[in-house]
Amino acid sequence: MSAYQNTARGGDTDFRRKWDREEYAQLASEREAREKAEAKARYEAKMSGKKVKSDDTPNPDAKAITARKAQDWSEVVNKTYLVPFGASVGRRGKGAGFYCEACDETYKDNNSWIDHINSRQHLKKTGQTFDQEKSTLDECVARLEMLKERKRQQEKQVVYDINDSVAARTAKDEAERAAKKAKRKENKEKGKEAHIKNENGGNDAEIASMMGFGGFV
């Protein structure tokens, strides 16, 4: 039996902090609605060419600059950097390493950089959210129709490509046959000319021999 079982202290847990679940659920819902409204306002401002005036809202161009920018790791291959101990943690400001313009922080290794660009802080700065919108039935049907149409267009393109290839091959074969025919005709003409020259050359030699000449020049 516990020594504290019969004491008032042992059975009293009122000293523990109590949490109002409904209150925190409401706060979370309000924050989610506020973030969605801010994201919508940023999107509309960007589409209309306006600037977001609020200092708390993220840079509308940061998403295009950092979140969608492919990292070229080949630039740091076979290179050595002196990195102090603990420098993998993000440092404020721009320096040597992977710099995030949206958060104004620099990271010294790719692992910490990848962790950063997937962090809630970075996603919020770049105007992204973890929320996933549920698609309606009409949107799903429209998406499937679009994919089916794209597939049909791709199949038509393949047929067109095959027909073009066949036509190009036929034209090439005809051109080759015409070239061979012209070459044979040319060789035949050259053969006739050579035969005529040989015959003329033989008659001249016979005449020169009969007249006592060595030949005609």
Q: Quick one: average pLDDT of 29-42?
A: 83
How far apart CA 196 and CA 203 sit, in angstroms, is 11
> Tokens 């267009």 sit at which residue?
153
Query: How many angstroms separate the most distant Cα atoms in the chain?
Result: 158
Where is pLDDT greater, at 29 or 73?
Answer: 29
pLDDT > 70 in the chain, percent: 57
The pLDDT score that the predictor gives to residue 112 is 84
The pLDDT score that the predictor gives to residue 64 is 47
Q: Would you kindly state where each structural domain of the chain is located, as residue ranges?
A: 24-131, 134-217
How far apart CA 187 and CA 158 sit, in angstroms, is 43
Quick: pLDDT tens for 54-64: 544 444 454 44
Quick: pLDDT tens for 136-189: 888 888 889 999 988 888 887 776 677 777 778 888 888 888 888 888 888 888
pLDDT over 70 (residue 82) = no
> Tokens 């005809």 sit at which residue?
174
What is this structure's pTM? 0.26
The pLDDT score that the predictor gives to residue 56 is 46
> Tokens 């429209």 sit at which residue?
142
What is the residue-averaged pLDDT of the chain? 71
